[in-house]
Amino acid sequence: MTRIFYIIGKSSSGKDSVYKRLIWKMGLKPIVLYTTRPIRENEQEGREYHFVKRDCFEKMKRMGDVIEERIYNTIHGEWIYFTARSSIDLSSGSCLGIGTLESYVKMKEKFGEAVVPIYIEVEDGIRLSRALERERLEASPKYAELCRRFLADSEDFSEENIKSSGIKMRFSNNGKVEECVSEIINFIKTSDLLVN
C-alpha cells in the first residue's frame, strides 16, 4: 500500500531540511504545497511551494481541488497555505508532504490510514535561534512575523492538540539533522509501511 508520510512540526524545527533529505534518500515523491505569500530569497517556484495569487487559490477552491487551507493574518497581510488534490499521485508510489498539525488532520480526513505522521520536535530555545539565523539572511528580515509564528506555535502544537490528532511518535531534531533523518528512515523501514 502506498502512503503519504507527512512531516509536522513547529516553525524552525527543521522540517524543510528533513523533507529534502527524505526525498533524496528514500525516493519518496514530494507533495508541493501552494501559498499566496511572497517568495523568499533562495526559494524556487515548484520546489518549496507553488507561489500563486489569491485569485488562483479561489479558482482551485471553486473547482474542488483544495483539500485543506490555512489562512494566516500576518503583519504583512493575509497569507494562505493550501494543499491541492491534483498535487498528490499515489498511483506510482508513496509521497512525502509537509505541513501543520491542522493540515495533517485534514489530510487524514481525506486519505485515512494512508497518512503517516512524522512529528519533529525541537527545544524552543534552539528553534528561536535557528529562526533568527534564517531571518537575518533575508534581504528584508521580518522579525515581527517570526515572533508571531513562534508564539502561535505554542497554541497550535499544544499537547492536547497533538494527542487529539493521534500522533504518538516524535522525532527529536535538537542536534544534527542527519541523526533525526536516520531515525525517521529507520521508522519508515521497520514499520513496513513503505510498500510501492
pLDDT tens profile 67-98: 999 898 887 889 999 999 999 988 888 999 99
Kindly report, residue by residue over 11-28, the tens digit of the pLDDT: 999 999 999 999 999 989
Rounded to whole angstroms, the Cα distance separating 90 from 196 reads 9
Concatenate the DSSP letters of all residues of 83-152 into one string. EEGGG---TTS-EEEEE-HHHHHHHHHHHGGGEEEEEEE--HHHHHHHHHHHHHTSSS--HHHHHHHHHH
Q: Specify whether the CB–CB gap between 10 and 122 falls below 8 A.
A: yes
Kindly report, residue by residue over 141-181, the tens digit of the pLDDT: 989 989 988 999 989 999 999 999 999 999 999 999 999 99
